[in-house]
Structure 1
Amino acid sequence: MRYLHTFRTVCEAGSLRAAAGVLHRTEQAVSYQLRKLEEALGMPVFHRGSGRLTPNAAGERLLAFCREMDRDWEALHEQLRDAGADESPLRISAVSGFGRYQLLPLFREGPLADIPIRMRYPIAEDVVRHVESGAAYIGFVHRMNAHDRLRHTPVGAEEIVLIAAADSQAMLSCEAASLQQAHFVTYDESDYVFATWFTQVLGAPLSRLSTIAHFEELEEVLDWVATGRGVSIVPAACMVDHEAQGALMALRKPEAPCRNTIYAVQDPARSHPAVERTLQAVRQHARF
């Protein structure tokens, strides 16, 4: 589904650069997802060799499928919307770092363990889209998005840290001069996370950022960095186990810790009995 959304965005935007801007991702990440989609299909879906990316015959059929699927998806949600919140699980959409490593434990063994849930971990843009369409009763994102109808409420914060292999011999520090020489491992949503860390810790973005690898999921990033092949900037909660096992280390400036605000996304016209309980638990767990 994520690859199809990226494919449709590229078709409508006409180029990797334009699509990357719409999706809030790097061109490298968009190109990677298109490549994975074509690998899954076993065929190319674009005419290549010109400045503008246009779908070929297979791509045109796939684009028509995506548009029809969107219509069917919206129709299905319209039918399910009135089924009654009391009878349905709490549908949640959350950005991966916060959702997997801070939110899910609250439902797995924490104070919300009695609540049935359906949880997804898309990018921030899709979290908002899920709440807007009714696919989720509540969403959690790490940046404010202007929206005419949806409400964004700050509910807590997550710490963001620079990470490297624990046994790395490289002399790495939280200083611009040192980081200019480092090779970074990026992931979906890393543009925003990196920019937040650079701004809060260094006071400005790096003039040059060298990227060695890109992955979709944070687990892949952590495993790669643990081998000593690059560094990254991630939510601190996601690397606790790796740090305890001695595979990774977090580098911090004690006088300038980086904290990113977490926002709950809600549609005031749609709710679920467990939403308020969930918000209370998140506020208590992810305190500012």
Structure 2
Amino acid sequence: MNVEMRYLHTFRAVCEAGSVRAAAGVLHRTEQALSYQLRKLEEALGMPVFQRGSGRLIPNAAGERLLAFCREMGRDWEKLHQDIHAASPIVPLRISAVSGFGRYQLLPLFRDGPLADVPIRMRYPTAEDIIRQVESGVCDLGFVHRMDTHDRLSHTPVGVEEIVLIASAHLVQPLALDAQSLRDARYVTYDESDYVFATWFTQVLGMNMTRLNTVTHFEELEEVLDWVAAGRGISIVPTACIAEHEARGEVVALRKPETRCRNTIYAVLDPARHHAAIERVLEAVRTRAMF
């Protein structure tokens, strides 16, 4: 059984807030994303954890035991966090990155790559929030997928990512990459997808689709990929995030061989602040991204 920590965090938030809608406001996520995570949690456990049928989500007997576990785990985690920081004089590098690049290209450098010895705190907010966090000093380093002018922060190009249109590998009829077919298609969108979609349509079709038939919207790319794999719509995402789904034969990337969509990744820095690990991180990112 593999239960992701964020699903437990969502479960506890929904229990304490009383509804998915209230928890979505607390967590600053969409209701669809939270509902998806609760469904995945119950699938992993093999049983329901809520009494359904009323307006308020109330945990059942299994849910009560799980909620007690989550609260105990939260207390243990907080104590461990405090103990680690009390024992270590090393200041972690605080990083904010857009999800597609951060989760699938940046994080592996720290997990099992050349930066495995660098302590970090990683966040995946929107590009606008990344700018605000670097500006306010909440983060030391940010990574965004577009260039924004700023009177104090620097935007340094550090890599290039490919953006692709993806569909279920089990489509009965292949999707044509022409304006009419794509105008009639059903799309799964996500936070940050407006810019990603516009970039792909502009580079590949030479136009922008201002109105899309959106069937659902998620916060995280994991949910988008699962929805597309199930044939519930198509989407446009950074190619780095689809490797596992492609390997399992669940999704396919649809490309025009003569027109690849590429987008620059920028590191966001405040020149007035410094962390000893920043230059090393930027060099590793440039090497991995083959910029």
Does TM, scored on the shorter chain, surpass 0.5? Answer: yes
The residue identity in structure 2 corresponding to 1:183 is: R
**Structure 1 counterpart of 2:22:** 38
Gaps of 5+ in 1: 1-34, 43-85
Alignment partner of 1:228: what SS? coil
Matched residues in 1 for 2:25 and 2:171: separation?
39
How many Å apart are 1:270 and its aligned residue?
0.4
The residue identity in structure 2 corresponding to 1:177 is: Q
| 1:262-273 pair list within 5 angstroms | 262-273=265-276
**Structure 1 counterpart of 2:125:** 122
Alignment partner of 2:184: what SS? coil
Alignment partner of 1:91: what SS? strand
Alignment partner of 1:168: what SS? coil
- From 195, 201, 206, the equivalent of 1:203 is 206
Moved over 4 A (4+): 39-42
Matched residues in 2 for 1:106 and 1:41: separation?
32
Matched residues in 2 for 1:115 and 1:41: separation?
33
Alignment partner of 2:113: what SS? coil
The residue identity in structure 2 corresponding to 1:133 is: S
Matched residues in 1 for 2:258 and 2:23: separation?
47
- From 271, 279, 282, the equivalent of 1:279 is 282
**Structure 2 counterpart of 1:257:** 260
**Structure 1 counterpart of 2:182:** 179
**Structure 1 counterpart of 2:219:** 216
The residue identity in structure 1 corresponding to 2:249 is: G
**Structure 1 counterpart of 2:168:** 165
How many Å apart are 1:175 and its aligned residue?
1.7
**Structure 1 counterpart of 2:110:** 107
How many Å apart are 1:180 and its aligned residue?
1.3
Matched residues in 2 for 1:253 and 1:41: separation?
40
Shift in CA distance, 281/229, structure 1 to aligned 2, threshold 3 Å: same
| 1:127-146 pair list within 5 angstroms | 127-146=130-149
How many Å apart are 1:209 and its aligned residue?
1.5
Matched residues in 1 for 2:151 and 2:213: separation?
38
Matched residues in 2 for 1:207 and 1:270: separation?
40
Shift in CA distance, 284/41, structure 1 to aligned 2, threshold 3 Å: closer
Matched residues in 2 for 1:264 and 1:177: separation?
37
Q: Over aligned residues, Cα RMSD in angstroms? A: 1.7
- From 77, 101, 104, the equivalent of 1:98 is 101
The residue identity in structure 1 corresponding to 2:22 is: E
- TM-score, scaled to structure 2: 0.70
Matched residues in 2 for 1:174 and 1:41: separation?
38
Matched residues in 1 for 2:92 and 2:25: separation?
33
How many Å apart are 1:133 and its aligned residue?
1.1
Alignment partner of 1:93: what SS? strand
1:205-238 CA distances to partner (integer Å, 9 max, x unpaired)?
1264111110010000000010001000000000
Matched residues in 1 for 2:208 and 2:186: separation?
15
Alignment partner of 1:224: what SS? helix
- TM-score, scaled to structure 1: 0.70
The residue identity in structure 1 corresponding to 2:189 is: T
How many Å apart are 1:41 and its aligned residue?
7.1
Shift in CA distance, 282/231, structure 1 to aligned 2, threshold 3 Å: same
How many Å apart are 1:271 and its aligned residue?
1.1
The residue identity in structure 2 corresponding to 1:218 is: L
Matched residues in 2 for 1:41 and 1:136: separation?
23
Shift in CA distance, 172/275, structure 1 to aligned 2, threshold 3 Å: same
1:242 to 2:245 alignment: yes
Matched residues in 2 for 1:184 and 1:92: separation?
30
Matched residues in 2 for 1:266 and 1:233: separation?
28
Shift in CA distance, 37/276, structure 1 to aligned 2, threshold 3 Å: farther
